[in-house]
Amino acid sequence: MTRCATGRGSCSPGRPETSAPAERADAELPWESSPDVATLSRKGCRGGSGRFRTLAMRRVGALMAACALAACGYGGQGSPAALRLSYNGSTPFPAVVGEAIALTPAVSGRADSYTVSPSLPSGLSLNARTGVISGTPTQPSAAQIFVVSATGAGVRVTFPLVLSVTEPPHGLSYASPVNATVGAALAPLSPSVAGSVDHYTVSPPLPPGIALNGSSGILSGTPTEARSVAPYTITAESLAGTTRFVLLLTVTPSRSGAMTRQGPTTGPRF
């Protein structure tokens, strides 16, 4: 049997119970462990506040006694837990211009300091002690990999954080009001907008023959039915936000169509 005694904040292995000669049992034999775990003395590991578990073994004659040591303090003769680092569940993070963010690292083990390369986008900074990335982005930037490094107890680990900064769309406008004519091609109407736009939508549906390009926001086509003036709300959207503009549009009958409905004119009678 093996008797192991543990205490709060420190570990003291008990003496293995064995039939080996007393002089061998009392000998100052070393406590051994796997290569990735520091050797423990008979007094166990002391000091520090971190907690981890290690497995140490003491050879007494032919007996290999195993002792699971728990609650050993970081900074003692034990080995700290493996240092691991991640942010945001390992997925790309979309930041938005003008919106404050705070990214807290998920860390296992002890990290004493943090660094990042290359420099974070304008308005964002890394807390070198806590690893928190925070601030309010001021300029848009394309998705980029930022390598965050954490160092502790002589161990350094890195994490590739993918971060992009988008500017929400704003200031959408079109030339308005618009007067179209049945049967006549409408001169394409292009939007004026700032920021990043993923797609455009319109409500209610445009008059028959006129369409909105969802990618470019351009209105074009040849109307086929007359419509009285009406408002059409065009929305520009992205993950960062939305912006809207109300377009006034009228479709008047074609002159040839009006003449057809009225019938041919007759000359004067004599």
Q: Once rounded to an integer, what is the mean pLDDT over residues 71-98?
A: 66
pLDDT in tens, 166-194: 999 999 999 999 999 999 999 999 999 99
Q: Are residues 160 and 123 in the same domain?
A: yes
Q: Look up tokens 């079109």; give the residue.
A: 174
Q: Are residues 175 and 253 in the same domain?
A: yes
| Cβ contact 168:97 at 8 Å | yes
Q: Does a structural domain hold residue 262? A: no
Q: Are residues 251 and 182 in the same domain?
A: yes
Question: 229 is written with which tokens?
Answer: 């003036």
Computed over every residue of the chain, the mean pLDDT equals 74
Q: Which of 24, 45, 69 is the last residue of a domain?
A: 69
The Cα–Cα gap between 74 and 133 comes to 26
pLDDT at residue 80 tops 70: no
With b for 16 or more beta-carbon neighbours within 10 A and e for fewer, the 96-115 pattern comes to bbeeebebebebebbbeebe
Q: Are residues 124 and 145 in the same domain?
A: yes
The Cα–Cα gap between 189 and 220 comes to 7
Question: 147 is written with which tokens?
Answer: 């390598």
Q: In percent, how much of the chain has pLDDT > 70?
A: 64
Full-model pTM: 0.56
Q: What angle do CA 233, 238, 240 make, to 5 degrees?
A: 120
Residues 6+ positions from 33 with CB-CB distance below 8 Å:
39, 40, 54, 55, 56, 57
Q: 82: pLDDT confidence band, cut at 50, 70 and 90?
A: confident
Q: Does a structural domain hold residue 131? A: yes
Q: Does a structural domain hold residue 270? A: no
> What is the domain range of residue 232?
170-257
The Cα–Cα gap between 263 and 252 comes to 19
| Cβ contact 71:50 at 8 Å | no
pLDDT in tens, 221-253: 999 999 999 999 999 999 889 999 999 999 999
Q: Which of 145, 166, 187 is the last residue of a domain?
A: 166
pLDDT at residue 8 tops 50: no
Q: Look up tokens 């500017």; give the residue.
A: 167
The Cα–Cα gap between 173 and 244 comes to 8
pLDDT in tens, 99-140: 999 999 999 999 999 999 999 999 999 999 999 999 999 999
Question: How many C-beta atoms lie closer than 10 Å to residue 149's C-beta?
Answer: 16
Q: Once rounded to an integer, what is the mean pLDDT over residues 38-56?
A: 34
| Cβ contact 226:185 at 8 Å | no
Q: Are residues 28 and 64 in the same domain?
A: yes
Q: Are residues 158 and 177 in the same domain?
A: no
Q: Does a structural domain hold residue 264? A: no
> What total of structural domains would you count in the chain?
3
Q: Does a structural domain hold residue 34? A: yes
Q: Are residues 88 and 159 in the same domain?
A: yes
Q: Are residues 134 and 206 in the same domain?
A: no
pLDDT at residue 7 tops 50: no
Q: 48: pLDDT confidence band, cut at 50, 70 and 90?
A: very low
Q: Are residues 205 and 228 in the same domain?
A: yes
| Cβ contact 111:131 at 8 Å | yes
Q: Does a structural domain hold residue 132? A: yes
- CATH code at position 189: 2.60.40.10
Res 11: pLDDT:
40
| Cβ contact 82:109 at 8 Å | yes
pLDDT at residue 198 tops 70: yes
Res 23: pLDDT:
40
Q: Are residues 97 and 159 in the same domain?
A: yes
Q: Does a structural domain hold residue 49? A: yes
Q: Which of 118, 133, 166 is the last residue of a domain?
A: 166
Q: Are residues 106 and 174 in the same domain?
A: no
CA distance between the termini of the chain: 135
Strand order in the sheet with 93-96: 93-96, 155-166, 141-152, 113-117
